[in-house]
Amino acid sequence: MLSQRWIESLVGLFLIFAIITLSMLAFQVSGLMSLFPDKSYAITASFDDIGGLKVRSPVKIGGVQIGEVSQINLDPVSFKAVVKMNIHNQYNDIPDDSSAGIFTSGLLGDNYIAITPMYNTSFLKSGSNIEITNSAMVLEKLIGQFIYSLKNGDSKGDKDAKK
Amino acid sequence: MIDNLAVTGRWGIEQLRQIGKAGIMLGRVLFYPPQVRKGFPLLIQQVYSEGVLSLIIIIVSSLFIGMVLALQGYHTLAKFGASQELGPLVALSIVRELGPVVTAILFAGRAGSAVTAEIGLMKATEQLSSMEMMAVDPIRRVISPRFWGGCISMPLLTIIFNATAIYGAYLVGVKWLGVDAGIFWSNMQSSVEFHADVVNGILKSVVFGIAVTWIAVFQGYTAEPTSAGIANATTRTVVYGSLAVLGLDFVLTAMMIGDW
């Protein structure tokens, strides 16, 4: 049998361990806040429609993840979605005339932001805004447009047939 | 015919008496004023022997459960092209169900049986009666610290189980099968709610802790003071404890989903 002092300190350790894991569960699993963020700088971009983009969705250039979405707000004046992203510090040479688009990985996959670099010699830095943006392709809208165009095509065809 | 009826009736009354005794014992444990100065070291010792010593089995089994869950889930989800939902699948099933239930069953096997055997042996060697002779209440001195020690250890073990199981799933899903780490965590974070999932899971584990340690302590206290009796009591602790956990789990889940 261990001495009482040992037992007490081991139980203390156990308690502290449990409290630390609880905070890890809170932060990492249920996302109350992200713990120890990587060193990064924040840029923003406003989109007409962000589709299913979420906080912590990846930001990619050429398929390589360079950062993640940190915040999504609605601009109260223009009703555009303002997306704030954190880009890792090692990617500090992205031209500031680059464009950002929202894409879907796979047919039903998750949304991510893809940045297409352009040729300017000045670079994006903390707080800068990406001017050129492409909205998310929302599958339902596309299907709606497709069906609409199909119907129009049909009615034209009918008219042609009547003539 | 009448004899059979009488036997059944006697058996029923005996069972009822057992339940009543268990209730009285729980009441005595709960409503006796605790002695802080004397009771606290005893409580710490029990948290040590029920909680800290169960840590190894909990961590190892949770790691493997998380890993297996990720492996199975990944291959099933990949069929539907939905492998990015691996994080939510693993986290929700662990935090809501597997964490509390598996921890409680392991706890019944590891700590509950030890408590029963210890108290049963104390009874068989008449340590409990000699305590009474010395005007030391065995409920206060022996039963109460073991009960509270189990109630404290169970939620803590569940929290650790949850975290290590999710880490195991992360190891298999992200490091081995190649799910993107950001997607794994971001999907998990957007679908797991702290209050509705994590806290309710821990609440479940508190109830399981009370149930398992109550059964363990009672089986030990009422064990027949023979070696066969102690063996029976230990078996009953594990069987009743596991059954109680699974049954209570259904009731609690129904209550939690139904917004009580």
What does the pLDDT look like over A34-88, one tens digit per residue?
Answer: 555 667 888 998 888 888 888 878 888 888 888 888 889 998 998 889 999 888 8
Range in A116-125, B19-28, B149-158 with the lowest mean pLDDT: A116-125
- Residue A47 pairs with which residues in a beta bridge? A81
Say which residue, A137 or B41, is predicted with more confidence.
B41
Question: For position B194, what pLDDT does the model report?
Answer: 82
Q: Could you tell me the two tokens for A137?
A: 């392709």
Is A161's pLDDT higher than 60?
no
Task: List CB contacts of B78: < 8 A, sequence separation 6 or more.
Answer: none
* Candidate from A30, A56, A65 with C-beta closest to B193: A30
Distances B64 to A17, B168, B169 between C-alpha atoms, Å = 20, 7, 9
* Candidate from B45, B156, B185 with C-beta closest to A15: B156
Say which residue, B174 or A153, is predicted with more confidence.
B174
State pLDDT tens for residues B212-242. Answer: 999 999 999 999 889 999 999 999 999 999 9
pTM: 0.72
Between CA B119 and CA B222 the distance in angstroms is 9
- The pair phi, psi for residue A116, each rounded to 5°, is -100, 115
**Portion of chain B with pLDDT greater than 70, in percent:** 98
- Residues A144-154, mean pLDDT to the nearest whole number: 82
B186 and A55 in contact (C-beta within 8 Å)?
Answer: yes
Q: How many CB atoms lie within 10 A of CB A81?
A: 21
Q: What is the DSSP string of B26-54?
A: HHHHHHSPP-HHHHHHHHHHHHHHHTGGG
Give the length of chain A. 163
B32 touches chain A (CB under 8 A): no
Residue A63: closest C-alpha in chain B:
B180
Rounded to a whole number of angstroms, the distance from the CA of B245 to the nearest CA of chain A is: 22
State pLDDT tens for residues A108-147. Answer: 677 888 888 888 888 888 888 888 888 877 777 888 888 8
HSE, side-chain direction, 13 A CA sphere, residue B94? 35
Between CA B4 and CA B9 the distance in angstroms is 9
Which is nearest to B230 in space by CA: B219, B241, B239? B219
B173 and B188 in contact (C-beta within 8 Å)?
Answer: no
User: In the A/B pair of chains, how many CB contacts fall below 8 A?
Assistant: 100
Q: Could you tell me the two tokens for A128?
A: 């800068």
A50 and A57 in contact (C-beta within 8 Å)?
Answer: no
State pLDDT tens for residues B175-194. Answer: 999 888 888 888 888 788 88
CB contact under 8 A, B186 and A30: no
Segments of A33-149 assigned E as strands = 40-47, 58-61, 64-74, 81-88, 99-104, 111-116, 129-130, 132-134
CB contact under 8 A, A14 and B162: no
Q: What is the DSSP string of B142-153?
A: IIHHHHHHHHHH
**Greatest C-alpha distance within chain A:** 102
